[in-house]
Structure 1
Amino acid sequence: MENIVLVCTAGMSTSLLVSKMKEIAGRNNIEINIEALAQSELKSYNKRIDLILLGPQVKYLLNNLERNYKNSETRFDVIDSIHYGTLNGKAVLNQALTLLNKKVI
């Protein structure tokens, strides 16, 4: 099962988006683990991560993440600000599935 982590400043706004993504994944029988973290929690997160999606407000972290995870298979991207702002769980889930080379819904 793939592990996706959404990262924002405090983990609050991404928590709402994660709930919507999990609901849509469940309705479509997609087995995937999705969690929300504050940027400060990411350093101590000790589970395997397949994909990190950054909230638009922390997109500046992208270069550091690519450098820190360069020897891993972890992928990275920034969530579209419109999808983030409207809590479009389906669009963000499809973004994640595309990045993981999975079938989109």
Structure 2
Amino acid sequence: MKILLVCAAGMSTSLVVNKMKKALGPDEQDWIIEAKPAERFEDEFKKYDVVLLGPQIRFKKDEFEKIAREYNIPVETINTADYGLANGEKILDFAKELYENKK
């Protein structure tokens, strides 16, 4: 699976990406989890299975969701508490759930 985290500047989001990578299971080590700034969304989103937004850019959700819907790529905002605590395991579980529900 390929997961894109979209953020404003990227500092805290890269910490979340690292925590999510650490939470990957043995059979998930080939998964790709990356963070990109919001201004690169339209150039990048098609390469991913799931898009997660940092809480600081949740105001972009409707716009990004409308663009990604045509490609059946879910776009959701990361829970603020999970993001703030960099709870990689919970955020990874959230991404997996979104991926499963899109099928």
TM category (shorter chain) comes to: 0.7 to 0.9
State the Cα distance separating 1:50 from its structure 2 match: 1.0
Structure 1 segment 31-46 matched on structure 2, within 5 A = 31-45=30-44
Unaligned runs of 5+ in 2: none
> Given the two structures, how large is their TM-score scaled by the length of structure 2?
0.87
How high is the sequence identity, in percent, across the aligned residues? Answer: 34
Deviations 1:5-58 (A, max 9, x none): 001101221111000100110xx2224210011111223227522111001110
- TM-align CA RMSD: 1.6
CA distance in 2 between partners of 1:24 and 1:75 (Å): 21
The size of the alignment, in residue pairs, is 99
Report what 1:82 is aligned to. 81
More helix by share: 2
Q: Answer yes or no: is the 8 Å Cα contact 1:18–1:35 preserved in 2.
A: yes
> Given the two structures, how large is their TM-score scaled by the length of structure 1?
0.86
**SS at 1:72 equivalent:** coil
CA distance in 1 between partners of 2:81 and 2:100 (Å): 23
Moved over 6 A (4+): none
**SS at 1:36 equivalent:** strand
